[in-house]
């Protein structure tokens, strides 16, 4: 169900389970194996996308959820499914490489929980829906969707979305902060972004990512200590000296464009 290819140092993983692109237990195992491989891989970034037209990952296969309800886990082992999925998504989020989700279609339920575990989310213009509608099936998200959504958009917006089972258009999702940006072709935009990230020192990207996640929910005095520690560790890497040398080699009037390269690359 997952197909992987590499392009210019970027791993591109495509999920294809026609006709609806529902996620399954078998797909969990395959994705988990890929995550373990990426951690030890020299790839500079990871892109996740859907391989069925109009669908990133629609949601988890409801047949499998219902079957699990009819054959519940033993009381001391439960909830195995949720813990397994949470652990996998934590490993994805903890990868040293940046992970970009190219939401090229409907992205609901577990599909959006997976996207929430990526670092950046690029939606695609179109008649698509994004969000966590589990309450409409008598469920709540349990693979980290509740916790990650609250961290992303705050309690008030999370309650509005979760309690009402709202799914949003790409434009609404951008306004609510559920996605980073919208593109005509989400996969193309995600690959282009990942290649630009790959041009930056990988150790810098990795430590910047770690610093954000480490300090997000901490009191300021503790967060400042971790920020300084991460910065100190980064400065021990010799490869970070080259970008500074490149900057200093430029005439002063050209240095702003050097720092503004991301915006200039997307104009």
- Identify the domain containing residue 44 by its residue range: 2-198
In this structure, the answer to whether residues 20 and 122 fall within a common structural domain is yes
Phi, psi (deg, nearest 5) at residue 13 = -110, 125
In this structure, the answer to whether residues 241 and 126 fall within a common structural domain is no
In this structure, the answer to whether residues 83 and 206 fall within a common structural domain is no
pLDDT of residue 70: 81
pLDDT of residue 238: 94
Residue 75 pLDDT greater than 90, yes or no: no
In this structure, the answer to whether residues 206 and 168 fall within a common structural domain is no
> By C-alpha distance, which of 1, 111, 3 is closest to 55?
111
Number of compact structural domains in the chain: 3
In this structure, the answer to whether residues 131 and 251 fall within a common structural domain is no
In this structure, the answer to whether residues 241 and 231 fall within a common structural domain is no
Q: What is the mean pLDDT of residues 35-52?
A: 97
More confident: 73 or 253: 253
In this structure, the answer to whether residues 210 and 177 fall within a common structural domain is no
Q: Report the CATH number that the domain containing residue 78 is assigned in CATH.
A: 3.90.226.10
In percent, how much of the chain has pLDDT > 90? Answer: 93
Residue 163 pLDDT greater than 90, yes or no: yes
Are the CB atoms for 132 and 149 separated by under 8 Å? yes
In this structure, the answer to whether residues 169 and 90 fall within a common structural domain is yes
pLDDT band at 9 (very low <50, low <70, confident <90, very high): very high
Phi, psi (deg, nearest 5) at residue 235 = -70, -10
Q: What is the mean pLDDT of residues 202-222?
A: 96
Among the candidates 143, 178, 198, a domain finishes at 198
Pairing status of strand 99-103 against strand 45-50: parallel
In this structure, the answer to whether residues 75 and 140 fall within a common structural domain is yes
Are the CB atoms for 52 and 18 separated by under 8 Å? yes
Scanning 143-236, the segments in alpha helix (DSSP H) are 145-153, 155-163, 170-176, 186-198, 202-215, 220-234
In this structure, the answer to whether residues 134 and 215 fall within a common structural domain is no
In percent, how much of the chain has pLDDT > 70? Answer: 99
- Tens digits of residue pLDDT in 233-261: 999 999 999 999 999 999 999 999 999 99
Give the catalytic positions in this structure.
113, 134
pLDDT averaged over the chain?
Answer: 96
In this structure, the answer to whether residues 12 and 112 fall within a common structural domain is yes
Query: Order of strands across the sheet with 167-168?
Result: 54-57, 105-108, 130-131, 167-168
């Amino acid at each position: 169900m997952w197909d992987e290819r590499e392009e210019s140092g970027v791993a591109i993983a495509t999920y294809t389970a026609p006709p609806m692109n529902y996620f399954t237990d078998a797909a969990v195992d395959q994705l988990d194996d890929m995550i373990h491989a990426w951690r030890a891989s020299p790839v500079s970034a990871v892109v996740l996308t859907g391989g069925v037209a109009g669908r990133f990952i629609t949601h988890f296969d409801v047949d499998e959820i219902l079957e699990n309800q009819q054959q519940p886990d033993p009381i001391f082992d439960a909830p195995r499914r949720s813990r397994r999925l949470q652990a996998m998504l934590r490993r994805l989020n903890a990868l040293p490489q940046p992970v970009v989700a190219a939401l090229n279609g409907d992205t609901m339920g577990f599909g959006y929980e997976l996207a929430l575990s990526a670092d950046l989310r690029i939606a695609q213009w179109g008649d698509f829906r994004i969000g966590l509608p589990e309450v409409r099936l008598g469920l709540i998200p349990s693979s980290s969707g509740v916790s990650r959504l609250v961290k992303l958009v705050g309690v008030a917006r999370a309650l509005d979305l979760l309690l009402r089972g709202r799914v949003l258009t790409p434009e609404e999702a951008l306004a609510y902060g559920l996605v980073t940006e919208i593109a005509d072709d989400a996969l193309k935009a995600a690959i282009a972004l990942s290649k630009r990230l790959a041009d930056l020192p990988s150790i810098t990207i990795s430590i910047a990512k770690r610093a954000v996640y480490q300090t997000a929910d901490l009191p300021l005095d503790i967060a400042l200590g971790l920020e300084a520690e991460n910065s100190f560790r980064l400065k021990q890497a010799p490869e970070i000296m080259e970008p500074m040398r490149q900057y200093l080699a430029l005439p002063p009037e050209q240095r702003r464009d050097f720092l503004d390269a991301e915006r200039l690359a997307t104009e």
